[in-house]
Structures are given as structure tokens and as C-alpha cells.
Structure 1
Amino acid sequence: MHEYLQPGPCIDSDHPALIEFAEASRGGNGDPVEQAVRLYYAVRDGIRYNPYVFSRDPQTLKGSHALLSGESYCVPKATLLAACARHCAIPARIG
């Protein structure tokens, strides 16, 4: 599980803006399941889904890119959620 807790090229859980977002979204409850649910809703509702922003630029696949742009499509939103989970010590990967 160690590898699913570390930052990666797209799952950039060490990005400062992402850390701030994850901390604000996870809530005060120490239960990892409750935190994961809160992170899910924060990404789902806080980052607008827009399939028309697709790009071939690999940088746009980063979770931090989806967060900073405020909109993205499914893959970067998934990397954002995984990165937030990893920051909160919840093992996560893209399925």
C-alpha cells in the first residue's frame, strides 16, 4: 500500500494548492471512510465537469491542474481525488 500513498507524476498529492484543498475538504472527523466521502463530494461538486477542455498536454492530467483551473473532465478529476486521498493517508490509485 505504500506506493498508493506517495505522490506521482499525475497524482501530485504534494502540490501546495492540493494540500490546502484536501485539508479544507476532509473535515474534522478522523474516520478515513468519512474523509473519503467528503473528498469525493468536494471534487464532484467543486470542480466543474467539462469534457471540452480535453488536451494532449500531459500536464493537464495532473490533479493540481484540475483544481487550479476549476474545471476538467473525468481523468484529471479522478487524479485530483486520488491525490487528495493520498494526502489524507488514504491509499488511492486510478482504476
Structure 2
Amino acid sequence: MRKYLRATDIIDWDHPAVLEQARVLKGDFADPVEIAKACFEWVRDNIKHSGDCKAEVTTVKASEVLEHGTGWCFAKSHLLAALLRANDIPAGLCYQRLRRDDGKGFTLHGLNAVFLPEIGWYRIDSRGQRPGCDAQFCPPREKLAFPIAEEGEMDFMEIWPDPSPVVVECLESYKGWEAVALNLPDIAFIVE
């Protein structure tokens, strides 16, 4: 579990601002489930999705997402992982492959998995609410923003301790919501 608790360049939970926000969200809670829910709901509801708000800044690191108050789904998942890890709750990154909003191809979608006592790994999606997206924290039932609904879409069930390199490359290479939106990452896969 140590790899799901460590600070990294991207999941920089050791940054003073991230540590302070994690402390505020923990409040008087002692139960990891309550802490995880508080962190999830705060990121979901308070950090704007960069595509929705047409952000000109592109964030990657958890501390950048917190500072600017915006991030793509991937970056929001980096912040959520950092807040959970700062509260000593194991957290990883997960991905889905979804049809793009414009219908032209597919893109990865970033979310998290958190390790909860008596439940185990539980996937949560802090993407943010909008029509058609209703992500909730209701363990043990999973309620993600996007169900897999079309041919070519899929859930990747792996729980990554670090962000996918294609995600980091996209967020570091393109600045502003339009550039990122035109270059959202996808991965090829083979079904046998």
C-alpha cells in the first residue's frame, strides 16, 4: 500500500497548501470513509472542470489544481489522490475510455480508487456535475460520472499509483482548454 500513499512530483500532497486543505477537510472526522467523502465532495464541487469553464490555464500537479481551482478530470484526480494520501488514506488513479463529447473518436477519462476499511478498493469520480453526470460517494455501490454505454468504451480496472504518462504528456504539452480538448489522450487496445 505504500505506493498508494507516497508523495510524487504530480501527486504532491507534501506541498504546504495541499497539506492545509487536507487538514481542513479532515476536520474532526476520525473515520476514513467520512474523510474520503469530504475530500471527494470538495474536489467534485469546488474545483472547476477545465473544459466546462474554458480555463486558459492547464494544471497537472495537485498543488496547481488547488492554486488555480481548475483542472481536467485527470488533474482533478491528481488533487483528490493527494488530499486522500495526505490524510493517510491509500488512493490511486483509474481510467475509462469514453466516446468524445463531439462524437469524433475516444478519450481517456481520469478518476480515482480509494482503499476503504471493510470495503476495499472503491472507485470515485470527482469530474464534476453537469447534465448527464451524477457522480456520488455511496460505498459500496459505485456511482461514476459516466457509465460505459457504447462500443469502443471501456473501464480499465487497474489502479495506478502514478498518473499515466500519456495523460501527463498531454497536460504538460498543451496550454489552454481548446488545445487540450483537441488533443485529449486515447490509447489503442486489442480485444481478442
TM-score (norm 1): 0.88
Q: Does 1:23 align with 2:37?
A: no
Structure 1 runs of 4+ aligned residues shifted over 4 Å read none
**Structure with higher helix content:** 1
Work out whether residues 32 and 89 of structure 2, in 8 Å CA contact, stay in contact via their aligned partners in 1: yes
Q: Give the superposition deviation at 1:25.
A: 1.3
**Structure with higher strand content:** 2
Q: Please tell me whether Structure 1 or Structure 2 has the larger radius of gyration of its CA atoms.
A: 2
TM-score (norm 2): 0.45
The residue number in structure 2 matching 1:47 is 47
The one-character-per-residue Cα deviations of 1:38-84 (angstroms, maximum 9, x if unpaired) are 000111111111224487x7xx3111111000111101100000000
Runs (5+) with no aligned partner, structure 2: 95-192
Q: Whose RCO is larger (CA < 8 A, sep 6+)?
A: 1
The residue number in structure 2 matching 1:35 is 35
Runs (5+) with no aligned partner, structure 1: none
The residue number in structure 1 matching 2:115 is none
The residue number in structure 2 matching 1:91 is 90
Q: Does 1:70 align with 2:69?
A: yes
1:18 partner SS:
helix
Over aligned residue pairs, what C-alpha RMSD do you find? 1.6
Work out whether residues 54 and 73 of structure 1, in 8 Å CA contact, stay in contact via their aligned partners in 2: no
Aligned amino acid, residue 92 of structure 2: R
Work out whether residues 60 and 71 of structure 2, in 8 Å CA contact, stay in contact via their aligned partners in 1: no
